[in-house]
């Protein structure tokens, strides 16, 4: 086993890891960084030609009992930046204080205000498009880098009637040509964007890819961490059929919320919450038939978010819901002559709370097994109540009928298996994302979320990594 030494040894190259390295190098530009990535580098061209984001299917990397939930993610250089749809809403200030405000879940160890400057930096890096009006709901200290995408006719009616709730989508799909990438043309297949309009590792992290002291090594799965005296002594990984070891001053674990806990479990890290509480949001699809209002004239795949069911006292009893207004037609257009576009597909996403029985464990052969039989009662009731409330929310529209189109198998968000908190007895990492016991280990990515707000996670993952790196570097 040969040995190598770096300032920073990083496991995984997804959102959490990349934004941590970005933040670290802002303060320590000459730091020597090694990034060990399990997957290959699949270029944009490779992904388009092969119609997938990775040669490795997520379900080949873990086991789950029959009937349990499935999980979706990308194994490859850049992780989730390859497959994501680039929806980038911030979390709501209340999301960070669920226990204080509503007596459920846990508070995050820092609040919205503390994360806000890092939200700005993450949005700049991703060239996020959005409307300044959104600041009324989610306060911001700087404008969005790009203007918002055009709303649909449906959105314009909703926005006029509900200016406090209905906002143009915040998204890292470019609304204007910019030095990083092309403009989004609403082709609506963003996991494989044909024109490269969304932010990815390949088009957005050239600075790291070409950085003289950063080395990305692909096809190097990390199997375990070498632990002694409450510190990480090294990272053990495989390459070309051999086992190798790399050591560093600081270690960053960013292998996603399913594989990061598996690595810790294989290493013998014994915090009782390791792997515990894995979760994501509960989503469902709806199709709204409209009388005389044509849709699908917006500027991108998802044009608006409606926050009418997002926050309030009801969160004491059931989960909040965020409504995504879609500029695409997953169930086809209408068949009646001349009424093809008189419909509005929606996706409703409901927050879930982590449950301790849902967890990642490791089989005898080292393969992760995810136990997740069902969503919480909190989320189940949230689904029911949000669907009942839709008629009222959509009252400004000429609604003919609202059709429930079924629960979505996954929101493609893996979260909460190495939760963050101030108390070492009930959380795995502290407010800076440093492991409570292994003080030279930082855990990044959505693994550390203590609760599961219904907004998309990756902008928050990025902002948190920038914050953590700023404090630790
Ligand atoms: C189809 C799809 C669409 C999505 N759309 C959105 C969206 O629009 N908006 C949004 O906010 N989020 C979206 N997401 C979710 C987003 O991808 C995740 O929230 C985000 O990637 C989480 O970041 P992370 O750093 O925790 O993990 P990842 O980005 O998944 O990074 C983990 C990295 O670790 C690597 N790895 C795994 N195991 C090992 C190992 N043993 N050794 C070394 N490396 C390893 C992986 O290959 C990967 O590179 C989407 C996800 C999918 C699948
Ligand atoms: S809507 Fe089309 S052009 Fe825009 S990001 Fe998605 S796939 Fe790319």
Check residue 444 and give left, alpha or beta (phi > 0: left; psi -120 to 50: alpha): beta
Q: What is the pLDDT at residue 179?
A: 85
Residues 32 and 107: their CA atoms lie apart, in Å, by 35
CA atoms within 13 A on the CB side of 404: 13
Q: What is the pLDDT at residue 180?
A: 86
DSSP string, 65-99: -TTSPP-----STTTHHHH---B-PPPPGGGGBHH
- Where does 177-301 show beta strands of DSSP type E? 214-217, 222-228, 231-239, 242-253, 282-290
> What residue ranges define each of the domains in the chain, with the CATH number in brackets?
3-472 (3.50.50.60)
Specify whether the CB–CB gap between 130 and 89 falls below 8 A.
Answer: no
Question: What's the mean pLDDT in 161-189?
Answer: 93
**Token match 């984001």: residue?**
53
Give the tens place of pLDDT for each residue, 291-341.
Answer: 999 999 999 999 999 999 999 999 999 999 999 999 999 999 999 999 999
CA atoms within 13 A on the CB side of 425: 0
How does the average pLDDT of the chain come out, rounded?
97
Residues 268 and 245: their CA atoms lie apart, in Å, by 17
CA 81 to chain CA centroid, Å, is: 10
Ligand 2 close to Cβ of residue 301 (< 6 A): yes
Closest CA to 7 of 183, 213, 188, 186: 213
Residue 46 scores a pLDDT above 90: yes
Residue 429 scores a pLDDT above 50: yes
Q: What is the pLDDT at residue 1?
A: 46
Q: What is the pLDDT at residue 387?
A: 98
Atom of ligand 1 lying closest to residue 255 CA: 34
Give the tens place of pLDDT for each residue, 243-300.
Answer: 999 999 999 999 999 999 999 999 999 899 999 999 999 999 999 999 999 999 999 9
Beta bridge partners of 176: none
Residues 255 and 13: their CA atoms lie apart, in Å, by 8
- Predicted TM-score (pTM) above 0.85: yes
Residues 455 and 310: their CA atoms lie apart, in Å, by 10
Specify whether the CB–CB gap between 203 and 44 falls below 8 A.
Answer: yes
Give the tens place of pLDDT for each residue, 340-399.
Answer: 999 999 999 999 999 999 999 999 999 999 999 999 999 999 999 999 999 999 999 999
Ligand 1 close to Cβ of residue 15 (< 6 A): yes
> Residue whose CA is closest, atom 3 of ligand 2?
184
The total number of residues shown for the chain amounts to 473
Ligand 1 close to Cβ of residue 456 (< 6 A): yes
Residues 27 and 9: their CA atoms lie apart, in Å, by 17
- In the reported structure, the alpha carbon of residue 58 is separated from the centroid of ligand 2 by a whole-number distance in angstroms of 23
Contacts of 270 (CB under 8 A, 6+ apart): none
Residues 331 and 287: their CA atoms lie apart, in Å, by 8
| CA–CA distances in Å: residue 368 to residues 15, 61, 270 | 21, 8, 16
| CA–CA distances in Å: residue 117 to residues 28, 192, 239, 386 | 20, 31, 39, 32
| CA–CA distances in Å: residue 36 to residues 33, 41, 55, 238, 270 | 10, 12, 17, 10, 24
> Residue whose CA is closest, atom 4 of ligand 2?
184
In this structure, which long-range contacts are made by residues 58-67, counting pairs with CB atoms below 8 Å and at least 24 apart in sequence? 61/258, 61/259, 61/368, 62/258, 62/259, 62/262, 62/367, 62/368, 62/369, 62/370, 63/363, 63/367, 63/368, 63/369, 63/370, 64/369, 64/370, 64/371, 64/372, 65/369, 65/371, 65/373, 67/373
Residue 261 structure tokens: 């806990």
Q: Is 262 helix (H, G, I), strand (E, B) or coil?
A: helix
- In the reported structure, the alpha carbon of residue 83 is separated from the centroid of ligand 1 by a whole-number distance in angstroms of 8
- In the reported structure, the alpha carbon of residue 191 is separated from the centroid of ligand 2 by a whole-number distance in angstroms of 8
Specify whether the CB–CB gap between 265 and 430 falls below 8 A.
Answer: no
> Residue whose CA is closest, atom 8 of ligand 2?
193
- Mutate which of 81, 127, 150, 193 for ligand 2 pocket (most atoms within 8 A of beta carbon): 193
- In the reported structure, the alpha carbon of residue 196 is separated from the centroid of ligand 1 by a whole-number distance in angstroms of 18
3 falls in which pLDDT band (50, 70, 90)? low
- In the reported structure, the alpha carbon of residue 206 is separated from the centroid of ligand 2 by a whole-number distance in angstroms of 21
- In the reported structure, the alpha carbon of residue 300 is separated from the centroid of ligand 2 by a whole-number distance in angstroms of 7
Closest CA to 325 of 359, 370, 288: 288
Residues 278 and 273: their CA atoms lie apart, in Å, by 10
Question: What's the mean pLDDT in 82-89?
Answer: 98
Beta bridge partners of 171: 87, 129
Contacts of 243 (CB under 8 A, 6+ apart): 1, 223, 236, 237
**Token match 């280990």: residue?**
441
Check residue 435 and give left, alpha or beta (phi > 0: left; psi -120 to 50: alpha): beta
> Residue 113 belongs to what H/E stretch?
helix 112-126
Ligand 1 close to Cβ of residue 248 (< 6 A): no
> Residue whose CA is closest, atom 49 of ligand 1?
79
- Mutate which of 87, 183, 198, 329 for ligand 2 pocket (most atoms within 8 A of beta carbon): 198
Phi, psi of 350 (to 5 degrees): -115, 140
> Residue whose CA is closest, atom 35 of ligand 1?
12
> Residue whose CA is closest, atom 26 of ligand 1?
445
Ligand 2 close to Cβ of residue 174 (< 6 A): no
Residue 77 scores a pLDDT above 60: yes
| CA–CA distances in Å: residue 97 to residues 75, 88, 106, 115 | 33, 21, 7, 13
**Token match 């990492």: residue?**
429
- In the reported structure, the alpha carbon of residue 136 is separated from the centroid of ligand 1 by a whole-number distance in angstroms of 30
Q: What is the pLDDT at residue 50?
A: 97
Residue 216 scores a pLDDT above 50: yes
Q: What is the DSSP letter of 452?
A: B
Contacts of 210 (CB under 8 A, 6+ apart): none
Atom of ligand 1 lying closest to residue 77 CA: 49
Atom of ligand 1 lying closest to residue 76 CA: 47
Residues 308 and 399: their CA atoms lie apart, in Å, by 17
Give the tens place of pLDDT for each residue, 26-40.
Answer: 999 999 999 999 999
168 falls in which pLDDT band (50, 70, 90)? very high
Q: What is the pLDDT at residue 178?
A: 85
Give the tens place of pLDDT for each residue, 394-417.
Answer: 999 999 999 999 999 999 999 999
Ligand 1 close to Cβ of residue 89 (< 6 A): no
């Amino acid at each position: 086993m040969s040995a190598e030494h770096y300032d920073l040894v990083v496991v995984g190259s997804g959102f959490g890891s990349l934004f941590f390295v970005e933040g670290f190098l802002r303060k320590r530009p000459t730091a020597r960084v090694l990034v060990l990535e399990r997957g290959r580098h699949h270029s944009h061209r490779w992904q388009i030609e092969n119609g997938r984001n990775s040669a490795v299917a997520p379900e080949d990397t873990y086991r789950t009992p029959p009937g349990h939930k499935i999980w979706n993610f990308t194994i490859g250089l850049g992780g989730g930046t390859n497959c994501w749809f680039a929806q980038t809403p911030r979390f709501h200030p209340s999301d960070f204080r669920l226990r204080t405000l509503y007596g459920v879940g846990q508070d995050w160890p820092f609040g919205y205000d503390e994360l806000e400057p890092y939200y700005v930096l993450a949005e700049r890096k991703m060239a996020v498009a959005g409307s300044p009006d959104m600041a009324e709901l989610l306060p911001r200290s700087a404008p969005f880098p790009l203007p918002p995408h055009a709303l649909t006719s449906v959105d314009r009616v909703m926005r006029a009637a509900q200016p406090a709730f209905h906002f143009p989508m915040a998204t890292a799909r470019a609304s204007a040509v910019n030095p990083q990438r092309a403009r989004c043309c609403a082709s609506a297949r963003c996991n494989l964007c044909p024109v490269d309009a969304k932010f990815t590792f390949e088009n957005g992290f050239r600075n790291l890819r070409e950085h003289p002291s950063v080395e990305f090594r692909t096809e190097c799965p990390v199997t375990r961490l070498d632990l002694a005296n409450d510190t990480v002594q090294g990272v053990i990984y495989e390459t070309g059929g051999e086992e190798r070891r790399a050591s560093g001053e600081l270690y960053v674990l960013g292998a996603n919320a399913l594989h990061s806990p598996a690595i810790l479990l294989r290493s013998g890290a014994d915090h009782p919450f390791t792997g515990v509480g894995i979760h994501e949001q509960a989503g469902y699809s709806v199709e709204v038939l409209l009388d005389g209002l044509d849709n699908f004239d917006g500027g991108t795949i998802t044009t608006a978010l409606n926050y009418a069911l997002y926050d309030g006292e009801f969160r004491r009893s059931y989960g909040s819901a965020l409504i995504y207004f879609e500029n695409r037609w997953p169930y086809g257009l209408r068949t009646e002559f001349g009424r093809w576009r008189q419909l509005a597909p929606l996706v409703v996403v409901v927050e879930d709370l982590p449950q301790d029985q849902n967890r990642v464990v490791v089989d005898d052969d080292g393969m992760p097994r995810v136990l997740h039989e069902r969503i919480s009662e909190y989320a189940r009731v949230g689904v029911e109540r949000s669907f009942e409330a839709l008629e009222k929310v959509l009252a400004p529209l000429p609604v003919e009928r609202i059709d429930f189109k079924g629960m979505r198998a996954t929101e493609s968000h893996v979260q909460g298996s190495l939760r963050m908190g101030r108390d070492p007895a009930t959380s795995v990492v502290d407010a800076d994302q440093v492991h409570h016991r292994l003080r030279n280990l930082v855990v990044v990515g959505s693994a550390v979320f203590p609760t599961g707000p219904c907004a998309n996670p990756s902008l928050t993952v990025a902002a948190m990594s920038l914050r953590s790196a700023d404090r630790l570097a």
